[in-house]
Structure 1
Amino acid sequence: MIYAFDTYYYEDYANTVCIAFEDWTSEKEVEIFIEHTSVNSAYESGAFYKRELPCIVSLLKKITLRPEDIIIVDGYVTLDNDGKIGLGGHLYEALNENCPIVGIAKNEFTTPDSQRRSVFRGESKTPLFVTAKGMNVDEIQLKVEKMHGTYRIPTLLKKLDQLSRA
């Protein structure tokens, strides 16, 4: 199973949503998980994970992960060639490196990262940026290219974004 997470922040709470789907090419989800949590910390530039990681970890308590499952986060897993990690990297560590984490980001992080791949989907001239831990990023790049949908943002990730903002 693949579990994709996104969180949207309101004034006094965060809405975290997870869409579970069976395969990279799936058009429809199998299950949706939603949780509202209190916002524990303000946004801190360069430390986005401090705000979002607790939301994802809390929602993960409702899910029984298996070794073959994959988690997708809206953001980065790795940030540079010096070992700096993003939200997905911190989640990978929080899960004791037992579950592969894929980061799919809409905005480019400017530091060089040999583990970052650009994915062009549909007719978009703007890429998605893919990073991973626990899986080969080149394989993930191909899988993200084949995700359902004809636009830049895959169908289920677009739905995930909409649900997190609802």
Structure 2
Amino acid sequence: MIYAFDTYYYDDYANTVCIAFEDWTSENESEIFTEKTDITSGYESGAFYKRELPCILSLLKKIDLKEEDIIIVDGYVTLDDDGKIGLGGYLYEALDRKYAIIGIAKNEFASPDSQRRNVLRGESKTPLFLTAKGADVDDILPKVKQMHGGYRIPALLKKLDQLSRA
């Protein structure tokens, strides 16, 4: 199973949503998990994970993960070649490195990262930015390209974004 997470922040709470789907080419989700949580910390430039990681970890308590399951986050897993990690990297560590964590980001991070891959989908000239831990990023790249939907953002990830904002 693949579990994709996104969180949207309102004034006084965060809405975290997870869409579960069977495989990379799935058109529809198998299940949707949602949770509203109090915001435990304000936005801190360069430390986004401090705000979102608790939300994801809380929602994960409702999910029975299996060893082969994959988790997708809206953001980065690795940030540079010096070992700096993003939200997905902190999630990978928080889950004791047991699950593959895939980061699919919409905005480019400035630092060079030899583990980051650009993914062009549909007719878009603007890439998505792919990073991973617990899986080979080069094995994941064609799978992200194959995800359902003809646009830059795969259909299920677009739906995830919309649900988190609802």
TM over 0.5: same fold?
A: yes
Deviation per residue, 1:81-133 (Å, 9 max, x gap): 00000000000000000000000000000100000000000000000000000
CA distance in 1, matches of 2:70, 2:54: 18
Q: Which residue does 1:83 correspond to in 2?
A: 83
Q: Aligned-pair distance for 1:2?
A: 0.0
The alignment partner of 1:7 has SS state of: strand
How is 1:124-135 mapped onto 2 (pairs within 5 angstroms)?
Answer: 124-135=124-135
Q: Which residue does 2:150 correspond to in 1?
A: 150
CA distance in 2, matches of 1:3, 1:151: 20
CA distance in 1, matches of 2:119, 2:138: 10
CA distance in 2, matches of 1:66, 1:56: 17
Tell me if 1:141 matches 2:141: yes
CA distance in 2, matches of 1:40, 1:10: 12
The alignment partner of 1:88 has SS state of: helix
TM-score by length of 1: 1.00
The alignment partner of 1:79 has SS state of: coil
Structure 1: gaps spanning 5 or more residues: none
TM-score by length of 2: 1.00
Percentage of pairs with the same residue: 79
Deviation per residue, 1:19-48 (Å, 9 max, x gap): 000000000000000000000100000000
Tell me if 1:161 matches 2:156: no
Give the total of aligned pairs: 166
CA distance in 2, matches of 1:100, 1:126: 25
Structure 2: gaps spanning 5 or more residues: none
4+ runs deviating over 6 angstroms? none
Q: Which residue does 1:41 correspond to in 2?
A: 41
Deviation per residue, 1:59-97 (Å, 9 max, x gap): 000001001000000000000000000000000000000
Q: Which residue does 1:67 correspond to in 2?
A: 67
Q: Which residue does 1:6 correspond to in 2?
A: 6
Tell me if 1:27 matches 2:27: yes
Q: Which residue does 1:99 correspond to in 2?
A: 99
